[in-house]
Amino acid sequence: MVQTPAPFEYERATSVEGAIAALGQHGSDARIIAGGHSLLPMMKLRLANPEYLIDINDLDELSYIREEAGEIRIGALTRHVELLESALLARHYPVFADAERVIADPVVRNRGTIGGSLCQADAAEDLSAVCSALKAKVVIRGADGERVVAMDKFHIGPYMTAVGDGEMLTEVRLPLRSGAGSAHEKVERRAGDWAIAAASAAVWIDGGTIAEAGLALSAVGPTTIHVTRAEELLRGSSPSEELFAQAGEIASADCSPVPDGRGPVDYKRHLAGVLAKRALRRATARALHQEA
């Protein structure tokens, strides 16, 4: 069987403004293509049928990881390999390297981008959980300017985001606060596969107390799961094994996995809880510089 996408028109954008103008002109028939490692497989399967593709790979201005205004700002076209190798991210948010090491394989990571990963809005995708746990915000640009959207408002359903017709995601912003620790834990059937379940955790510790916490799960619900009840429990508490175990129990209870080839529901719930606990434990050890 030949797998080739249905016909479409192709345009290479030479500026962000040009890409947005083309999106505006073609409405819901148009899609941005960056790495293409989610979109092209969807197009081969006819799950996505854009009639107009706007290639943004030449837009170097969307490829960066930098510290600015108390945040780390990541351009939408930044590739997985760059996230994996970033010293700035490793210093502040090692959760990125944790996740990137287990996202697909090195060859795919040469192409796939953070913007594409988030916009694909696949519940099993890892970076969406990472960005949710870190309380990231994304910048969405359209013809009328920019708006900044928090991660918990970004994914509005399976494969659906807050990005509207004529708009594109241009940047991911991670708030910088002192006392941060973060980690990502994933179990997969084989190297490079999608998660059976994965958990991203972030804590910000101030004077021995968890001042702020983020916990998000991949692959155990219709969208990335923000475990807000666990975050509330963690906030203001002193870190301890008992606390992490309680947070893990909440993660198990608050996810909604479906049975499939990767396992039954009770197994996935159990796994989500264990991974949440481990991610919180490692995030805390990193925040306290106690990691072995």
Partner 1 sequence: MELHLTINGERVTRDVEPRQLLVHYIRDTPGLTGTHWGCDTSNCGACVVLMDGKPVKSCTILAAMAEGHEIRTVESLERDGQLDPVQMGFHELHALHCGFCTPGMMMTARALLDENPNPTDQEIRVAISGGICRCTGYKNIVAAIRWAAEHEATTRQEV
**Cα 180 from Cα 286, distance rounded (Å):** 8
Smallest gap from Cβ 194 to partner 1, in A, equals 11
Smallest gap from Cβ 86 to partner 1, in A, equals 17
Given candidates 41, 157, 164, 259, which one binds partner 1 under the rule CB under 8 A?
A: 41
**Cα 254 from Cα 102, distance rounded (Å):** 24
6 binds partner 1 (CB under 8 A): yes
37 binds partner 1 (CB under 8 A): yes
Smallest gap from Cβ 259 to partner 1, in A, equals 23
48 binds partner 1 (CB under 8 A): no
36 binds partner 1 (CB under 8 A): yes
Smallest gap from Cβ 15 to partner 1, in A, equals 16
**Cα 290 from Cα 25, distance rounded (Å):** 54
Give the per-residue SS3 of 123-166: CCCHHHHHHHHCCCEEEEEECCEEEEEEHHHHEEECCEECCCCC
- Count of residues engaged in binding partner 1, rule: CB under 8 A: 28
Smallest gap from Cβ 44 to partner 1, in A, equals 7
Toward partner 1, which CB reaches closer, 52 or 267?
Answer: 52
Grouping H, G, I as helix, E, B as strand and the rest as coil, residue 43 is helix
- Residue by residue, DSSP assigns 207-276 as TTEEEEEEEEEESSSSSPEE-HHHHHHHTTPPP-HHHHHHHHHHHHHH-----BTTB-HHHHHHHHHHHH
Give the contacts of 25 (CB within 8 A, at least 6 positions apart): none
8 binds partner 1 (CB under 8 A): yes
Site track 97-136 with partner 1 (rule: CB under 8 A), x = hit: -------xxxxx-xx-------------------------
- Using CB under 8 A as the binding rule, the residues of this chain from 51 to 80 that contact partner 1 are 53, 55, 57-58
The answer to whether 53 and 46 have CB atoms below 8 angstroms apart is no
**Cα 156 from Cα 95, distance rounded (Å):** 24
Smallest gap from Cβ 6 to partner 1, in A, equals 7
For binding to partner 1 (CB under 8 A), which residues are involved? 3-10, 12, 33, 36-37, 40-41, 44, 53, 55, 57-58, 104-108, 110-111, 191-192
